[in-house]
């Protein structure tokens, strides 16, 4: 199974520092959606929001997909206005590290995004992804319409019936309420920090495995 292939290297995760121990400077001003999308024409694009562990990795996966025009790292699932990275990573809020995906539904479907989401993290570990521990790393699939909720629930049922995982899926399926952009230095972190130890030890092997398994869905610049 794809999920089993992707997680064959998970033991490596326990040998390196966690995402929460890096980039903890929260002194920057609030980073707005307008800044994040300054070079993107969002007309006709749809949005999808997912939380699947450290957003540095999650962002990198979705950015590589053909039909995805932009991905923003941020926080969702909580209620406090203007959360900061230091607050979220300390577990003092109910937010989870999340990504907001802007995609062209004529090129890629919500169903395909859901498939990628479940294939690129472990949905059976509660409040944890590898070395990253805490509710800020919990698995959440957000929906904006009843149709999206049905797609998510049906896919979870399909995974469970297939026996893809030994343990039960604990992904929370929640209505989308609010997404807060993370600080600017978190955006495109994978691309902008190729020598970061977390990137080289954790993120890069996972992204390379993803590129291999989803080669037919990648943008041309990622087809090596």
pLDDT in tens, 128-185: 998 899 999 999 999 999 999 999 999 999 999 999 999 999 999 999 999 999 999 9
**Is 179 within a domain?**
yes
Among residues of the chain, what percentage have pLDDT more than 90?
Answer: 76
In the chain, the number of structural domains is 1
Q: What is the pLDDT of residue 35?
A: 57
**Is 159 within a domain?**
yes
Which among 173, 187, 180, 106 has a CA at the least distance from the CA of 145? 173
**Is 14 within a domain?**
no
**Is 18 within a domain?**
no
Indicate which residue of 6, 36, 51, 54 is catalytic. Answer: 54
Average pLDDT, integer, range 92-114: 97
Prediction pTM value = 0.86
Task: Tell me if 6 sits within 8 A of 122, measured CB to CB.
Answer: no
Residue 60 neighbours by CB under 8 Å, 6+ apart: 190, 191, 203, 207
Domain that holds residue 165: 2-6+28-213
Q: Cα–Cα distance between 71 and 58 in angstroms, integer? A: 9
Cβ burial, residue 136 (10 Å; 0-12/13-18/19+): buried
**Is 171 within a domain?**
yes
User: Which residue is associated with the tokens 């955006």?
Assistant: 187
**Is 20 within a domain?**
no
Q: State residue 168 phi and psi, 5-degree precision.
A: -70, 145
**Is 11 within a domain?**
no
Average pLDDT, integer, range 5-19: 45
Q: What is the pLDDT of residue 2?
A: 44
Instruction: Assign 224 a pLDDT band (cuts: 50, 70, 90).
Output: confident
Instruction: Assign 27 a pLDDT band (cuts: 50, 70, 90).
Output: very low
**Can 54 be counted among the known catalytic residues?**
yes
Give the lowest-confidence range in 18-27, 107-116, 147-156, 163-172.
Answer: 18-27
pLDDT higher than threshold 80 for residue 10: no
CATH number for the domain including 168?
3.30.1060.10
**Is 221 within a domain?**
no
């Amino acid at each position: 199974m794809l999920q089993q292939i992707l997680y064959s290297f998970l033991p490596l995760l326990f040998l390196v520092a966690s995402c929460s121990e890096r980039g903890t400077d929260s002194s920057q001003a609030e980073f707005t959606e307008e800044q994040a999308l300054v070079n993107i024409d969002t007309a006709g694009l749809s949005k999808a929001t997912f939380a699947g562990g450290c957003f540095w990795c999650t962002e990198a996966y979705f950015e590589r997909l053909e039909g995805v025009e932009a991905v923003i790292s941020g926080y969702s699932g909580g209620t406090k206005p203007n959360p900061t990275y230091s607050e979220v990573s300390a577990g003092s809020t109910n937010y989870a590290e999340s990504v907001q995906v802007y995609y062209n539904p004529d090129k890629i479907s919500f169903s395909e995004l859901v498939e990628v989401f479940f294939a690129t993290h472990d949905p059976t570990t509660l409040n944890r992804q590898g070395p990253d521990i805490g509710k800020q790393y919990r698995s959440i699939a957000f929906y904006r319409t009843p149709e999206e909720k049905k797609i998510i629930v049906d896919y979870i049922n399909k995974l469970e019936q297939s026996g893809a995982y030994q343990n039960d899926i604990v992904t929370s399926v929640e209505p989308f309420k609010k997404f807060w952009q993370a600080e600017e230095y978190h955006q495109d972190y994978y691309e902008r920090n190729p020598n970061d130890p977390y990137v080289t030890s954790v993120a890069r092997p996972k992204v390379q495995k993803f590129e291999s398994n989803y080669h037919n869905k990648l943008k041309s610049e990622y087809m090596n």
